[in-house]
């Protein structure tokens, strides 16, 4: 890992990008941008951006590239000089990857692709609960909070995401296959591209990502 590096976490919905991003940020002192998180926050607060994207997100489609690229651009430029940055959920298609390529002149980019089987994804998303206040991610089957429905970290009531309903999950998977999966070909001949088997338990996945990053 080099100073100022941008680490891109690629992978289908429910691959564990958010889970791993949080651990990486903590271990290496990196800053983490979840584009989905920023957009959900805008919806929750009812901002102009939130009103523009709410229906799109609830249907499982991608938000327009110009809106997301602007969020990423501003976020990265404000954090120039930090030890390293993690992008979780960006880029999501070839247009966004082209935008990131422009930034590669200023920031070295590594890509970690977390691969998970579809049957596992459907189970994970059905069980996911998250904290609307601090963002911590749980799973009722594999990673439950100490007290049911309550965040261990901040005590807020946990919620299920609107787009984790089964029919929306199917649409998100379709969008992933058509829009995002082609990025694997786009990045896979890069020297800083790594595949990680995300079907394993979160700690094993984390260890493997760390091994790649410290390589
Ligand atoms: P976004 O929030 O980015 O959703 P996503 O990519 O579909 O990813 P998820 O957040 O669902 O999953 P994850 O990989 O982070 O998994 P997690 O760690 O939570 O985007 C949402 C929407 O915003 C998009 O549909 C789109 O509309 C819009 N958007 C966002 N970015 C955009 C962009 N760039 N362009 C256009 N539109 C954009 O884990 C999932 C569950 O599994 C949790 O319960 C967790 O506890 C559990 N888990 C994690 N790892 C493991 C493991 N190894 N074993 C067992 N369980 C595990």
Report how far residue 95's alpha carbon sits from residue 26's, in angstroms, rounded to the nearest whole number.
30
Give 13 Cα–ligand 1 centroid separation in angstroms.
5
- The protein residue with its alpha carbon nearest to ligand 1, atom 21, reads 36
pLDDT at position 105 is 81
- Residue 19: closest CA among 112, 146, 84: 112
Q: Is 177 a catalytic residue?
A: no
CA dihedral (135, 141, 144, 147) in degrees, to 10, reads 120
Question: Whose CA is closest to 160, among 183, 197, 128, 203?
Answer: 128
Which pTM does this prediction carry? 0.94
**Active-site residue, 77 included:** no
pLDDT in tens, the chain (215 residues): 788 899 999 999 999 999 999 999 999 999 999 999 999 999 999 999 999 999 999 999 999 999 999 999 999 988 877 889 999 999 999 999 999 999 888 888 999 999 999 999 999 999 999 998 998 999 999 999 999 999 999 999 999 998 998 899 999 999 999 999 999 999 999 889 999 999 999 999 999 999 988 87
Q: For residue 80, how far is its CA from the centre of ligand 1 (angstroms)?
A: 25
Question: Is residue 92 annotated as a catalytic residue, yes or no?
Answer: yes
111 bridge partner residues: 8, 193
HSE at residue 125, side-chain half, CA atoms within 13 A, is 24
Which pLDDT score is estimated for 198? 98
């Amino acid at each position: 890992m080099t100073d100022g590096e941008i680490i891109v976490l690629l992978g289908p919905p429910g691959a564990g990008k958010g889970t791993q991003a949080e651990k990486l940020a903590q271990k290496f002192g990196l800053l983490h941008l979840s584009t989905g998180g920023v957009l959900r926050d805008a919806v929750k607060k009812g901002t102009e951006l939130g009103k523009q994207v709410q229906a799109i997100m609830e249907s499982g489609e991608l938000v327009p590239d110009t809106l997301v690229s602007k969020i990423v651009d501003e976020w990265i430029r404000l954090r120039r000089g930090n030890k390293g940055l993690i992008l979780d959920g960006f880029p999501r298609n070839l247009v966004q990857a082209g935008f990131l390529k422009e930034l590669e002149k200023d920031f070295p980019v590594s890509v970690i692709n977390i691969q998970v089987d579809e049957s596992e994804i459907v189970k994970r998303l059905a069980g996911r609960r998250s904290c609307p206040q601090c963002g911590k991610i749980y799973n009722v089957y594999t990673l439950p909070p100490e007290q049911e429905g309550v965040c261990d970290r901040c005590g807020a009531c946990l919620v299920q995401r609107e787009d984790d309903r089964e029919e929306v999950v199917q649409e998100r998977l379709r969008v992933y296959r058509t829009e995002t999966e082609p990025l694997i070909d786009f990045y896979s001949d890069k020297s800083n591209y790594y595949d990680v088997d995300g079907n394993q338990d979160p700690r094993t996945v984390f260890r493997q990502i760390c091994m790649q990053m410290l390589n």
